[in-house]
Structure 1
């Protein structure tokens, strides 16, 4: 997050409602003025699916379908959906137990007006929404409003001060070395706005507040806001001398099948530690066995080493992950979930989580955007297979993207007796054709291969390309076919075995451990290496609050791409959004972009 965005978010507090309402037109919610407080109004953003929206609000997909029947077919960017509120809520949307509430920003609202309406401070709202900035505060966006905290009595210093022209709440906080919560508590009349000539009580100084400014009145928007006065907890880069990392995995477990994978992940992680130390990074690594169940997890979370950690990585079962995630949230420590591709609802509501393996339904629309861009000049033919591995989310998203971009696309059902004629009837001789089976199964490839081979060997005028799925990298018997068919697949992870970096890692691994890696997908040693290099490297370079620079963090992975562009929600954590497009070239080489 750059300084300009923080400045703009601070500016939201002092802009008149009419100005913000005008800015809100950038993304207007399509709902009418009549609002039902028993639901949340969500504006669909690019790439979102019913699956990801349900995860965001911790409801089921059927809950959304019930209130929005047309969403079963498709949803569009900018569309407004009704989302049921979780739990019993009052007219303001606050749950009966006083917990946080989700609020959809309406035209004319500002951060300051919301704080006043809900009885909380702007700082409390921004603390509850780490992803909130000027770019994400707009009409139709949903944010989390925390429960009001008990307000302790605060005495003034006995001094008074007369407000000067152009002064602001944040300029006053800086002048008096306090925070806006204390300033407003001592001077509740300021909740209605500032006016030149007002006489206020000078609040007591607060430890850790921004230092005072010169007594010259602040005169212009360039200087009148102090970033630290609003988002000190987030904008401040906490440099660390030693990266304290806790790795928690179930090494001694009854899950004998996966123990070698956990061990291999650990071995790759240690290789990352070794590589980073060679660059001068100081690392204090603590490794713990979680065993079966949650008893050991609870014990580990009470150890001094984990309590001192800057970063926690690990957990395998849902129960272990939920315990660690709750601990990370309470302690304010970054937590990486390296293996599980579930629990997206947990990640969507916990701002300290980084999930490495994204659920397939979450990455489907991201992959569809990449695929549609790649295939912009193709004639697309979808082949409906109808087996158990249908890729419904991806196919639906890709068709929508292609239609939006004007890419011709049609579908044919697979029939072994008529498939050759059915397919050629849809192929183009004037532009390249891409064949996209609707299933990721090996059986689907077995059905397509004879026909595609026959078309190639018959020297037809058709230019053919095949497009497929992450699972295809495991179908090693088809590698030569993939090259022959000029195949592309999308995949969140892919290791190019012939690349210099993979060959070097493979050699180092064998030298380190006197054995070869298990032939799994993904390779767990490479997964451990990639996560260690990325996250510990982030700690070393950007400090404990490395997420502020996450969009600028580049890492050329061995296998698992790591790309965290934005939080799942303003109050949530980060889901890995990396998608590789892998190309099996006709010369039998493989490239990854």
Structure 2
């Protein structure tokens, strides 16, 4: 059947065939020198290394590397010496909260990140009511650095409880959530429990599937507690997540989530390539196979990250190969029909076969690649993880409406392309439907590739910024328009005008648009996904991936992690009911995707509508929202 079954384990077979020809290893230099009052690693450039790769290796910002090695900006040479600054580790994160004894023998607790009234009360074995009574001026919401008096008559300083981890991370909630398990006692009520933890009754019910039958003595329920001074929009820190102790979570170990992963691994083909590879020769594997391996590794990383929360998963990995027979065999496999979730396939010709089968058998499918919008209609078990172009255009219009009202907005429509017309209509429809009274209506101008810009000139303004929106994926039309617009702004009449262009995601990869135009026109584009390699969480992910698989992750690893982590989190939290998760809390920022999943309509599937807006600045893409 071509299935590789894994339950809580890491497959080494795929990694072995990948490493046979593609292992890439870098070692951090042990040669440390002192200069300019600081310590530096002395790194000797090896064959194939880049400034970006070296910066990632040493976990430093690329700009910091260039600041200390200005010659590196012009390119690296073999055996060139690069000095990487050693950044001292901030140990403040690892220090425990200071405990001070005042003149009355009471303890003064200094609030730190992650503290709540509940966690402080448990640490010192006092009640929340007692804490509030001796701190009458304390705010309802604690602030970092705030002093809290602990009543001395209630303190046992020889038995202060130390938290299992600092700021425990809950992989099932937001980045500012911590989950505690509460065992219901006799005569306890929703009200008494809510006061004990300083949370609302509705939040207790929401995270425990409603508790429709009320509370039962001895029942264990989950309590969601918010941390102090925490950024809700931040991406989860994988390293903290994996360091969380099992005892923080108490989910059912009996529930097994069965996941089927459908990828073109092409195992037989790669075996043949390796078997027939001449000695000492480099025999590249199929590119789809390599991408599938990266995707597979991302799924494994997601599973490992959720094990600490109690995830019990059976992972079936199927090789879809490159033919219809393989798909037929997979669909006939007795294990496949037991799946709670299917991720894949990749090839468009296989997607309809799999999604039709899964729709018939009520199995949720998440498609990792872009699929037509009509594929979601009348299929409640299909999720499109990549936002549609109409969705991205709508988000671009939403962002535009938030900009200053005095801007001059002009919509340029490519009237020769049906798809471009639909994108322009989507932008204009959302813009006009949500237009506040303070904003002027949108000026819409239809053009062709051969049109001059005389129609646009009539509407340009010299005293405000001119926002030119061009929702087109037609390379010819876009290239001609940008060239003509550049010529226009270089004329005497318009050289002092201010311009900003809004385009489409595809523009990022259009080689026919000069990079200087993207920067000079402050190009804004919506993106369905992008990895921020400068973020600390991404750097942590790379280090863990490198440690686990001995090579760096690629884009497909991050995509797979986001898909698997988000879906498995939902299946675990809502007892393998993905619909409930989608309807309540399927929103977060991943490594690649912004997750914001919603149902297209009551009889159709789901689409991820998470989109970020980026702007070109100094030849870099800067996220704006």
Please give the TM-score of this superposition, normalised by the length of structure 1: 0.51
CA apart distance, 1:289:
0.9
On the 8 A contact 1:496/1:591 being kept in 2, the answer is no
CA apart distance, 1:533:
1.2
Q: Show CA shifts across 1:474-518 (max 9, x none).
A: 247755543432221122223334333344444544454444556
Alpha-carbon distance between aligned partners in 2 of 1:479 and 1:274, rounded to the nearest angstrom = 41
- Give 1:580's aligned residue: 612
On the 8 A contact 1:348/1:574 being kept in 2, the answer is no
Q: Does 1:471 align with 2:506?
A: yes
CA apart distance, 1:460:
4.5
**After superposition, where does 1:137-152 map in structure 2 within 5 Å?**
none
Structure 1 unaligned segments of length 5 or more: list them.
1-225, 230-236
**After superposition, where does 1:361-376 map in structure 2 within 5 Å?**
361=390, 364-365=393-394, 367-374=396-403
Q: Show CA shifts across 1:338-375 (max 9, x none).
A: 22413x43422122222223443565555544544557
Alpha-carbon distance between aligned partners in 1 of 2:400 and 2:383, rounded to the nearest angstrom = 25
Q: Does 1:532 align with 2:568?
A: no
Question: Which of 563, 575, 578 pairs up with 1:543?
Answer: 575
Q: Name the SS of the counterpart of 1:391 in structure 2.
A: helix
On the 8 A contact 1:371/1:398 being kept in 2, the answer is no
Please give the TM-score of this superposition, normalised by the length of structure 2: 0.49
Q: Name the SS of the counterpart of 2:596 in structure 1.
A: coil
**After superposition, where does 1:260-339 map in structure 2 within 5 Å?**
260-318=290-348, 320-339=350-369
Question: Which of 456, 472, 475 pairs up with 1:439?
Answer: 472
CA apart distance, 1:541:
2.1
Q: Name the SS of the counterpart of 1:590 in structure 2.
A: strand
- Give 1:129's aligned residue: none
RMSD of aligned Cα (Å): 3.9
- Give 1:558's aligned residue: 591
Q: Does 1:491 align with 2:523?
A: no
Q: Does 1:391 align with 2:427?
A: no
| Residues 417/409 of structure 1: CA separation in 2 closer, same or farther (3 Å cut) | closer
- Give 2:111's aligned residue: none
| Residues 478/285 of structure 1: CA separation in 2 closer, same or farther (3 Å cut) | farther
Question: Which of 252, 272, 277 pairs up with 2:266?
Answer: 252
Alpha-carbon distance between aligned partners in 2 of 1:325 and 1:416, rounded to the nearest angstrom = 43
Alpha-carbon distance between aligned partners in 1 of 2:418 and 2:536, rounded to the nearest angstrom = 34
On the 8 A contact 2:413/2:420 being kept in 1, the answer is no
CA apart distance, 1:445:
4.1
Alpha-carbon distance between aligned partners in 2 of 1:572 and 1:440, rounded to the nearest angstrom = 27
Alpha-carbon distance between aligned partners in 2 of 1:353 and 1:368, rounded to the nearest angstrom = 27
- Give 2:460's aligned residue: 427
Alpha-carbon distance between aligned partners in 2 of 1:327 and 1:457, rounded to the nearest angstrom = 60
Structure 2 unaligned segments of length 5 or more: list them.
1-209, 214-221, 223-250, 270-284
Q: Does 1:357 align with 2:392?
A: no
CA apart distance, 1:467:
0.3
Q: Name the SS of the counterpart of 2:587 in structure 1.
A: coil
Q: Which moved more, 1:380-389 or 1:399-408?
A: 380-389
On the 8 A contact 1:288/1:300 being kept in 2, the answer is yes
Alpha-carbon distance between aligned partners in 2 of 1:568 and 1:460, rounded to the nearest angstrom = 46
Bigger fraction of residues in strand? 2
Q: Name the SS of the counterpart of 1:555 in structure 2.
A: strand
CA apart distance, 1:392:
1.8
CA apart distance, 1:573:
1.9
CA apart distance, 1:557:
1.4
Q: Show CA shifts across 1:445-492 (max 9, x none).
A: 464157448738979543321101011232477555434322211222
Q: Show CA shifts across 1:316-356 (max 9, x none).
A: 345533333344334333222222413x4342212222222
Alpha-carbon distance between aligned partners in 2 of 1:339 and 1:449, rounded to the nearest angstrom = 32
Alpha-carbon distance between aligned partners in 2 of 1:494 and 1:457, rounded to the nearest angstrom = 37
Q: Does 1:407 align with 2:441?
A: yes
Q: Name the SS of the counterpart of 1:564 in structure 2.
A: strand
Q: Name the SS of the counterpart of 1:258 in structure 2.
A: helix
CA apart distance, 1:536:
1.0
CA apart distance, 1:379:
1.4
CA apart distance, 1:436:
2.0
On the 8 A contact 1:389/1:440 being kept in 2, the answer is no
Q: Which moved more, 1:540-549 or 1:375-384?
A: 375-384
| Residues 574/380 of structure 1: CA separation in 2 closer, same or farther (3 Å cut) | same
| Residues 374/324 of structure 1: CA separation in 2 closer, same or farther (3 Å cut) | farther
Q: Does 1:241 align with 2:275?
A: no
CA apart distance, 1:530:
1.1
Alpha-carbon distance between aligned partners in 2 of 1:281 and 1:453, rounded to the nearest angstrom = 59
Q: Which moved more, 1:275-284 or 1:456-465?
A: 456-465
Alpha-carbon distance between aligned partners in 1 of 2:255 and 2:347, rounded to the nearest angstrom = 32
